[in-house]
Amino acid sequence: MITAGIDMGSRTVKVVFLEELKVDGAPQLRWGVKGKHIMFPEDLDADQAADKAFEDALQAAGLSREQVKKVVATGAGRKQVKFATADVTEVGAGARGAVFMCPTAKTVVDVGAEEGRGVKANAEGKVVDFAGNEKCAAGAGAFAESMSRALQLSLKEFGEASLRSDKTIPMNAQCTVFAESEVVSLIHSATPKEDIAKAVLDAVASRVCAMVRRVGIEDEVILIGGMVHNPGFVQSLKGALGVEKVHLPDMPEYVSALGAALIAAEGTD
Amino acid sequence: MSGLFDQFKEWYEKRHDYARAWKSRTGGQVVATMCTYTPEEILIAAGMLPVRVLGAHEPQNVTEPHIFGMFCPFCRDSLAQGLLGRYEYCEGVTLTQSCIQYRQAFNSWRMHVPTVKWDYYLPMPNEVQSRFARAQHYAEVKKFREYMEGVIGKKLPDADLKRGIEIVNENRRLLRELFEYRKETNPRVTGVEALYASITAQFVDKEEHNKELKRVLAELPKRKNDRPEGIRFMTIGSENDDVSFMAMVESVGSTIVIDDQCSGTRYFWNEARVQDDPIATIADRYCERPACPTKDYPAHTRFDHVLKLAKDYNARAAVFLQQKFCDPHEGDYPDLKRHLEANGIPTLFLEFDITNPLGPFRIRIEAFLETLGEEELF
């Protein structure tokens, strides 16, 4: 049996298909990823973006719509997914997917484009408590993206550059716009780009860490969301969290879609 | 029967029109009040209409020259309404001491709102638990009475004060009776309706409000509620009259069954204990009411009070509606959260501003409902 999770994020649409694994021909309560797909919509029509992402994902996985028994949507635009059987918040889906990938981790840190959050989950991947950035992007990927533009670096270069720095430059601004002027001041004072990159990522990590502290930090932490692809951010966050076991999944931006697909699977007969 | 609370809703939405009409009908003075510790009994005895200043929940750009941007949004929004002339019908403005941000908003109001003819600051003690507090507050309420006698140009006899106490006490009693219905399984009074009833008590003529409450209470036994109850929530915080937020919360699988807010229960919860001396009756009532965090030290009396409300009304969980930068409530939050959670009441924290982002708040409420684990997806 196959189920799907579709994560309508603020920047990208992610689709994951799950297939029930069978051992010696008997169905087991284990699931494997059948296929995944990411799409960067070119326009703001969420209906079309959901449809197109799903069709492309079916094609990539070699599946037909009829083969997918249930679809659960998540993410900021989850209500726009008309063909979904049900929807779940990104908080619940992220926790479910993260604990599935790393059952020993009970603290989930999810940093996407527009939102960062800390989630405390139980052994079943159910949310016990959560905290997120309320209204500004300072604890999220969009902040890092904006600062990389100010430094005229690609996001990849930005993350890598920060790893070359061993300086700690405090950034006081918690607002993206003011932080950009702080970055510009550092550029004018001939601060090396790698030091500025590290300062920015330290600031994001510190803000994310403060949110996670609100729900409590357990011994093992799993990081999910697109920002996990930024090695500089990961290093800064590891330092801020101060825990030894920080798990980095292979497909961090798909974890919420995976969680939604798992929830879909749990709802099937 | 769906329009049972329509009168309260109309009063809320047209509160300025109501006050102007009251003034033209009665010829009485209207007084802007800035905190629910204001002894309204004296204003009512003086033939005035106390009108609590509320915000408009819309962006404004007039308060920056007067109060700091990191003052709580309710104070800024309240001051903005004065500066924008929305309370031009109020002759007087008064504040009873609660928090310093409110006091600054009041000071700016009396200095910069040109229609103000008189103002009065009532320095109620914050440490109401002190053994000296009641004596001090007695003296302050007495001074307020004398000041009001100066404003109206005649003595305020004890009989008038006693009548004021009786009217306000009846209002408190009727609101308590209305809130009793919220204890029911699938209550026939929603959180939005209860808010309309309690918030309008703060600016509608009490006798008129009492009459409407009695009409609603007479109809309520016949009312059938066919909306799903969902999760029973309590709300906690300072002032909240964000009706669209409350409606959103009740539209996604929950019912708000009780609150600890000054727009709700803290305003009316305890009646005044009637004594021979009306000043003592009034002064003691405000020292004894469920405390706002500004007046709840050294002992935290409100923690057990809030927990009792949650238990009495069978609230499954509590949502903190925290006005951004409200220090007194922020100070209580970590311990109160711990107290509730240790006693089986999970909590959610939301930070309120002048305008609130309903979309992100909806996600948080829905995620909170998911954590409470009673939502059926399929």
Mark yes or no for CB contact A92/B367 under 8 Å: yes
Mark yes or no for CB contact B377/A129 under 8 Å: no
**pLDDT (0 to 100) of residue A25:** 63
Average pLDDT per run of 10 along chain A, which is 269 residues long? Answer: 90 89 63 73 77 91 92 92 94 94 94 87 91 70 85 91 91 70 87 93 88 90 93 93 92 93 81
Residue A251 CB-density burial (10 A; 0-12 exposed, 13-18 middle, 19+ buried): middle
* B228: closest CA of chain A, how far (Å): 19
Best CA proximity match to A110, nearest among A2, A33, A14, A174: A14
* Token pair for B366: 């829905």
What secondary structure, in 3-state letters, does B295-334 show?
HCCCCCHHHHHHHHHHHHCCCCEEEEEEECCCHHHHHHHH
Q: Which CATH architecture has domain A130-247?
A: 2-Layer Sandwich (3.30)
User: Above pLDDT 90, what percent of chain B?
Assistant: 91
Q: Which residues of A touch B353 (CB under 8 A)?
A: 135
The CATH T-level fold of domain B1-14+22-378 is Rossmann fold (3.40.50)
**pLDDT (0 to 100) of residue A172:** 64
Taking CA atoms, what residue in A is nearest to B347?
Answer: A129
CA distance B52 to B38: 9
* Token pair for B183: 């204890």
**pLDDT (0 to 100) of residue B2:** 56
Residue A61 CB-density burial (10 A; 0-12 exposed, 13-18 middle, 19+ buried): buried
* A191: closest CA of chain B, how far (Å): 32
CA distance B351 to A211: 14
Which phi-psi region, left, alpha or beta, contains residue B258 (left: φ > 0; alpha: ψ -120 to 50)? beta
**pLDDT (0 to 100) of residue B83:** 96
Alpha-helix residue ranges (DSSP H) falling in chain B:
6-13, 15-26, 40-45, 73-83, 100-112, 133-152, 158-180, 191-200, 206-219, 243-251, 265-268, 278-288, 301-312, 327-342, 358-372
Contact A72, A87 (CB under 8 A): yes
Mark yes or no for CB contact A135/B357 under 8 Å: yes
Taking CA atoms, what residue in B is nearest to A268?
Answer: B378
The CATH T-level fold of domain A2-102+253-266 is Nucleotidyltransferase; domain 5 (3.30.420)
Q: Please enumerate in sequence order all residues whose Cβ is within 8 A of that of B337, keeping only pairs 6 or more positions apart, or say none.
A: B320, B347, B349
Q: Which residues of B touch A70 (CB under 8 A)?
A: 378
DSSP B38-100: S-HHHHHHTT-EEEE-----S---SSTTTS-TTS-HHHHHHHHHHHTTTTTT-SEEEEES--H
Dump pLDDT digits (tens) for A82-136. 999 999 999 999 999 999 999 999 999 999 877 889 999 999 899 999 988 766 6
- Regions of chain B where pLDDT drops below 50: 1
How many Cβ atoms are within 10 Å of B159's Cβ, its own excluded?
A: 10
Where exactly are the structural domains of chain B?
A: 1-14+22-378
In chain A, residues under CATH classification 3.30.420.40 are: 2-102+253-266, 130-247
CA distance A28 to B177: 56
**pLDDT (0 to 100) of residue A268:** 60
Give me the interface pTM, i.e. the ipTM: 0.70
Predicted TM-score (pTM) of the model is: 0.84
